[in-house]
Amino acid sequence: MATLLTPDGRTSFAEVERRALEHAAEVSALGVRPGDRVALKAANSAEWVAWFLGLAHAAASIVLVDPRTPHALTTRRLASTGAELLVTDEPGPWLGRILPVLTCGRTTSGDDASPSGILDLERWCALPDALVMASGGSTGEPKPVAKSGTAFLANLEANIEAMGHRSDDVFWPILPLPHQYGLGMAMIAWRLDADLVLCQAERIDVGLRLAGPAGVSVVDGIPTTWRTLLALAERRWDVARALEKVRLPCSGAAPLPPALAEQGRRRFGVPLLDSYGSTELGNLTFAVPDCPTACGPPVRGVRIEVRAGDGSSLPAGRMGEIHVSYEHVMSGYLVNDRIDPVEVVNGWCPTGDLGSLDADGALHVIGRAEVLGRGPTRIYPAAVEHCLREAGAPGGVVVLGDQRRGRLVCFAEARSEDQQRLVRRLVETVCVGEEAIDDLRLLAGIPTNLNGKPDRAALLRRLNRDDPACLGRGIGQDAS
């Protein structure tokens, strides 16, 4: 039986499953019935996995809450989703019924006895709201997304098949478990009975101490995490050695700069492998070692079309809105305790994202399909942002359309004077004509939301200089 490695010790998946059965009995004794909503808000740990599986065994509708979510927002989310019980490792004060998550480690011996019962997720899979997760929320407050257990697990199987995950892999998701990306990787390790390294996503140092000796082979993280990890590997031999067995260095949740992907190639022999998906639609495409281009081809069961504004399908190489046809999408958004079904037209879901397909079927994602009108000209800020990223912007970059003033505003990460000069030169040479940047703002870092995506809502607030809610620390500003 495979092992979970955490800062608290080693725990076998057999022990996790036994604990899951105990937790299912606990919530059932409290009167939780199949379909009742139970919220789970706790830090990454073996006990988090045990509670998740236990709630699934009890056929509860599981509302996942990021442990970094502020108390007031958590309270609103519990009320809006109708959660009747909160399982948490966070002290209150909380209203309603609470169960504590014990974070102490449970070290088990190698002679694990058989679990007293069999973990059964069949009833959970049948629920249309088996999982309730927060949407990406890059342009506003996240919305609760309801998804069936069947859709979630079927998407994981397609993920495993596409990436070639194996039972002898050692997984290290440098991600929070309450979000689809982190949860998916942890559950893939459980499905395959593979070793899993778990710690807080922010504590790369702790993860390295666990992952290196374990021989980690699959690492998943957001681009900002990879930038930090690869920089550490360049400077420290012990970090480089800890990563020497990595065969699948995977990135997601935010745009991956080409220069960063190539930095991964120098370290691992393959570039950082990008992907495309969403909480609503699941994991849709994956770049793999044999086809590492852009976000890669669709997984089994997924069809993708790129369409023009009139709805017609575009040929390879043409940019348009990405549409997806897939059986295992979300059930809908949770609105006032009912599920508002996802928009499907003749079997296809519009994503609101811009992109193109190449001749080999790999998906190239540009960004959100938002338009800025400049007289008769329609400008896609995401396309301008993509050009800057492809041209070699040294850090994160976000281009927004200021609809009130008809301007293009660029927020770019530049931590040194050399990087500032590079960004200014790229803006002057890449963004020309109707796509010229009107306002360039250089920051020490692009703010991100809890999903690891650029927090565009926070940046939009910065456009009003009198707004006290500005985030990030500016290191320079130009206005052209």
Which pLDDT tens digit goes with each residue over 149-158? 999 999 999 9
Neighbours of 135 (CB within 10 A): 18
Within 167-312, residue ranges assigned H as helices are 180-192, 204-214, 223-235, 237-242, 258-268
Buried residues in 98-113 as b, exposed as e (16+ CB within 10 A): ebebeeebbebeeeee
Within 276-396, residue ranges assigned H as helices are 381-391
3-state secondary structure (DSSP) of residue 430: helix
Architecture of domain 370-478: 2-Layer Sandwich (3.30)
For residue 403, the model assigns a pLDDT of: 84
Residues 34/59, Cβ–Cβ less than 8 Å: yes
Residues 185/175, Cβ–Cβ less than 8 Å: yes
Sequence-separated (6 or more) residues with CB below 8 Å from residue 120: 57
3-state secondary structure (DSSP) of residue 432: coil
For residue 209, the model assigns a pLDDT of: 96
Please state whether beta strands 61-64 and 37-41 pair in parallel, antiparallel, or not at all (unpaired): parallel
Residues 31/55, Cβ–Cβ less than 8 Å: no
Please give the Cα distance from 94 to 274 (Å, whole number): 39
For residue 474, the model assigns a pLDDT of: 31
Architecture of domain 3-356: 3-Layer(aba) Sandwich (3.40)
Low pLDDT (below 70) residues in the chain = 95-96, 102-116, 137-140, 464-480
Domain-wise residue ranges, the chain: 3-356, 370-478
Please give the Cα distance from 286 to 284 (Å, whole number): 7
Sequence-separated (6 or more) residues with CB below 8 Å from residue 468: none
Please give the Cα distance from 365 to 382 (Å, whole number): 10
The 407-413 sheet, strands edge to edge:
397-402, 407-413, 439-443, 474-478
CA distances to 322, 461, 469, 471 from 465, rounded to whole Å, are 34, 8, 10, 11
Neighbours of 254 (CB within 10 A): 21
Residues 27/236, Cβ–Cβ less than 8 Å: no
Interaxial angle between packed helices 258-268 and 223-235, expressed in degrees from 0 to 180 and rounded to the nearest 10: 40
Structural tokens at position 280:
């609503």
Examine domains 3-356 and 370-478 and report if their fold is the same: no
For residue 466, the model assigns a pLDDT of: 39
* Radius of gyration for the alpha carbons in the chain, expressed in angstroms and rounded: 22
Please state whether beta strands 131-134 and 144-147 pair in parallel, antiparallel, or not at all (unpaired): antiparallel
Distance of CA 142 to the CA centre of its chain: 13
Q: Is 351 exposed, middle or buried (0-12, 13-18, 19+ CB in 10 A)?
A: buried
Please give the Cα distance from 44 to 39 (Å, whole number): 15
pTM of the complete model: 0.86
3-state secondary structure (DSSP) of residue 380: coil
Within 292-380, residue ranges assigned H as helices are none
For residue 365, the model assigns a pLDDT of: 94
Q: What is the pLDDT of residues 333-379, one digit of tens each?
A: 998 888 988 878 888 999 999 999 999 999 999 988 888 887 777 88
Please state whether beta strands 248-251 and 218-221 pair in parallel, antiparallel, or not at all (unpaired): parallel
